[in-house]
Amino acid sequence: MVKIIWTERSLSDMRDIAEFIAKDSEKYAKLTIEKIIDQVSILEKQPFIGRIVPELNDKRIRELIVGYYRIIYENKEFSINILTVHHSKRDLNKRNLNTNKD
């Protein structure tokens, strides 16, 4: 089982998502965050379940899709770094994901 590490960016993304959705619905904001967290927890046992991020074409950088959100993570040997939770309508190429090449 690998360790899940939420980066500062991914935690900030989660706060922003919750705040944005909560403007219309506190309930839906909570449900969305719960769905994202549930999907991430699957990575502990199945770290390769996500697809390779097409824009990056790096086998270590993968993603899970939850609704409109892309959970982008880096698969390391003993850990999973959640890099960002990104809205699918936004341009990922404009984001610096700060992956460390080992």
CA angle 21, 23, 24 (to 5 degrees): 75
pTM exceeding 0.75: yes
Report the C-alpha gap between 10 and 27 in whole angstroms.
21
CATH of domain 3-89: 3.30.2310.20
| pLDDT given at position 77 | 85
- Close Cβ partners of 47 (under 8 Å, ≥ 6 residues apart): 2, 75, 80
pLDDT tens for the chain, 102 residues: list them. 899 999 999 999 999 999 999 999 999 999 999 999 999 999 999 999 999 999 888 999 999 999 999 999 999 989 999 999 999 877 676 566 665 543
Going from N- to C-terminal start, the domains of the chain cover 3-89
Please count the other Cβ atoms lying within 10 Å of the Cβ belonging to residue 46.
9
